[in-house]
Amino acid sequence: MARSVLLTGAGGRVGQAILRDLGEAHDWRLLDREPLPRGKLPDGIDNSDVYVSDVTNKQAVKEAVRGCEVIIHLAGDPRPNAPWESVLRNNIDGTQTVLEAAVEVGVEKVAFASSNHAVGFYEDERKPDLYRDHDEFRLDGTELPRPTNLYGVSKATGETLARYYHDEHDLSVVCVRIGNLTESHPPRNYERGQAMWLSYTDCAHLFDCCVKADYGYEIVYGISDNDRKYYDIEPTRRVLGYEPRDNSAEYHLDGTPKDEFDE
Amino acid sequence: MARSVLLTGAGGRVGQAILRDLGEAHDWRLLDREPLPRGKLPDGIDNSDVYVSDVTNKQAVKEAVRGCEVIIHLAGDPRPNAPWESVLRNNIDGTQTVLEAAVEVGVEKVAFASSNHAVGFYEDERKPDLYRDHDEFRLDGTELPRPTNLYGVSKATGETLARYYHDEHDLSVVCVRIGNLTESHPPRNYERGQAMWLSYTDCAHLFDCCVKADYGYEIVYGISDNDRKYYDIEPTRRVLGYEPRDNSAEYHLDGTPKDEFDE
């Protein structure tokens, strides 16, 4: 069933992966800080459903949120090396602005784009074994954050904000720790990226699940079903009904597809 | 052994509890956003060791930090109902400013005043049993934050920032989730407050331990040894050598001391 969904940060990579496959699946409102060129808009979207605003602008965000059933909140500075001032404003303050507006306006649920960078330091002691098929270590979302950078701190803070808005205001929120999103093939010659690959197809499907599923508060990992994975995606399957189709093991290390791939 | 210690938020309640007992134990530098009246200063402190500055002022904080071995970072908006704008600035940005300065200047360790409000929502399902002697439930610092307010979100964020500065920059940090600090007797007719009471004496001793002990990164609870407790203080004992002397069970519910108290 098509839902009324606000997508913040619609012009970014995750937003575009979602719109590529789901452009006609939901009634979209799009928000981005930059005007979106026609090529980044789903076919047939009405101009009045496209908002150009900073995500920290309370009034503009509230207007964009009003009447929506679900928010997919992606907006923020996506650079792992972004300076503190930028993530403080765009990622931390911006996420509070969106969650506050969601509660005020009475939105049903929010999917929040968190990141693998919120927990990157767990890898230090086990890499590179961690990135290989035989290693059984898994992170599952119950672990405390160990961010690798201030961007990761900002994403962990978004998760904590979401926890508060759920506990205090009964807002349903799923935080998706997104892996390494690339189109058409996994990252090349980069074991870590292949371990946490998220294909465009699986990304769109995953956020479609976030729109449709029922949940209270959850932290899940958003990656394809990679043999190399060290993030547990059983909770993602269980909570959201996620059924990934891709696996970086179907590609050689250099990114070319294997001719035949039998699991 | 006396250490050179910067105390931020020196004029607040926790700062004053520390200085009451430890005024002569260390070489203090004090920072507060307000000028400190003589009654709030330890005897014999030099004027040049007192800094009046906002904790988000990078330059002023760096000057105050330079030459110190340890920081006790208490500064921030202490109101549980503080608005987002204030905790974003004073507590989140302020803590990043202090940790960044600590790393730049080469400080050895930081004790960060976190709060019970970072985990307040764990109580909902078990209260009021949780606050009574017979209840065995304990939080121990390994649990994910569940803040009761935006102030609690800001304190959980300080813990995550500290984790990052430890992992990335090898700064030693202990985050102390402070209970309910009152002088001379536990909170009156308030079971929750008595469960998490921290006496002035135990508070000063606890932060003295933070100055002296060796640690990497830790989250511990800072309360007296109350019979009613639902915070585990074994980690506080083990990590810091904390030996609390007070217990709210030595007082009646109305705050008057029991004539005889035998454990």
Give the per-residue pLDDT at B37. 95
pLDDT for the residue numbered B261: 62
Structural domain including B206 reads: 4-250
Q: Is B13 part of a structural domain of the chain?
A: yes
Contacts of B206 (CB under 8 A, 6+ apart): B176, B198, B222, B236, B240, B242, B244
- How many residues are listed for chain A in this entry? 263
Measured between CB atoms, which of B124, B142, B145 is closest to A160?
B145
| pLDDT confidence bin for B116, thresholds 50/70/90 | very high
Query: In chain A, what residues touch B92 (CB-CB under 8 Å)?
Result: 88, 92, 157
Residues of chain B with Cβ-Cβ distance to A235 below 8 Å are none
Q: What is the pLDDT of residue B124?
A: 85
**What's the pLDDT score for residue A261?**
62
Average pLDDT taken over every residue of chain B:
96
Q: Work out the pLDDT band at B246, boundaries 50, 70, 90.
A: very high
Residue in B200, B259, B223 with CA at minimum distance from that of residue B15: B200
User: Does residue B1 surpass a pLDDT of 90?
Assistant: no
Give the pLDDT confidence score for residue A125 in this predicted structure.
81
Tell me, what's the pLDDT at A44? 87
* Within-domain flag for A133: yes
| Residue B251 clears pLDDT 80, i.e. is over it | yes
The predicted-structure confidence for B153-177, as pLDDT tens digits, reads as follows: 999 999 999 999 999 999 999 999 9
Q: What value does the mean pLDDT take over residues A20-38?
A: 96
**Amino acid B249: pLDDT:** 96
A94-137 per-position pLDDT tens digit: 999 999 999 999 999 999 999 999 999 999 889 999 999 999 99
pLDDT of residue B96: 98
Kindly determine whether residue A157 and residue B152, on different chains, have CB atoms separated by under 8 Å: no
User: Looking at B30-34, B89-93, B123-127, which range is the least confident one?
Assistant: B123-127
Over residues B28-51, mean pLDDT: 95
Rg of chain B over Cα atoms, rounded to whole angstroms, equals 18
CA distance A231 to B223: 36
Percentage of the residues of chain B whose pLDDT score is greater than 70: 98
Distance to chain A for B24, nearest Cα, Å? 37
Q: Is residue A261 part of a domain?
A: no
Q: Which residues contact B88 (CB under 8 A, 6 or more apart)?
A: A88, A92, A93, A96, B154
Q: What's the confidence (pLDDT) of residue A155? A: 98
- Asked if the interface predicted TM-score (ipTM) of this complex is over 0.85, the answer is yes
CATH number, position B43: 3.40.50.720
Q: Is A218 left (phi over 0), alpha (psi -120 to 50) or beta?
A: beta
The reply to whether B258 falls in a domain is no
Contact call for residues B119 and B147 (beta carbons, < 8 A): yes
Say whether B181 sits in a helix, a strand or coil: strand
pLDDT of B58 > 90? The answer is yes
- Report the 10 Å Cβ neighbour count for A121: 19
Distance CA B161, CA B57 (A): 18
Beta carbons within 8 Å of B120's beta carbon, 6+ residues apart: B146, B147, B148, B149, B152
Residues of B in contact with A163 (CB under 8 A): 121, 144-147
Is residue B262 included in any domain, yes or no? no
Per-residue pLDDT at B112 exceeds 60: yes
Min Cα–Cα distance to chain A from B37, Å: 34
* Residue from the list A144, A152, A157 with its beta carbon closest to the beta carbon of B157: A157
Q: Which residues in chain A touch residue B96, judged by CB atoms under 8 angstroms apart?
A: 84, 88, 150
Residues from A in contact with B at Cβ < 8 Å: 84, 88, 92-93, 96, 100, 121, 124, 142, 144-150, 152-153, 156-157, 160-161, 163-164, 167-168
Does B210 reside within a domain? yes
> Using one digit for the tens of pLDDT, what is the confidence trace for A186-200?
999 999 999 999 999
Contact B228, B186 (CB under 8 A): no
B59-105 pLDDT, tens per residue? 999 999 999 999 999 999 999 999 999 999 999 999 999 999 999 99
Neighbours of B34 (CB within 10 A): 10
User: How buried is B81 (Cβ within 10 angstroms: 0-12 exposed, 13-18 middle, 19+ buried)?
Assistant: exposed
Average pLDDT taken over every residue of chain A: 96
Q: Is B242 domain-assigned?
A: yes
Each residue's pLDDT tens digit, A147-185: 999 999 999 999 999 999 999 999 999 999 999 999 999
* A256 within some domain: no
Count of alpha carbons within 13 angstroms of residue B119, beta-carbon side: 23
Minimum Cα–Cα distance from B144: chain A residue? A144
Q: For residue B32, give the 3-state DSSP assignment.
A: strand
Number of domains observed in the structure of chain A:
1
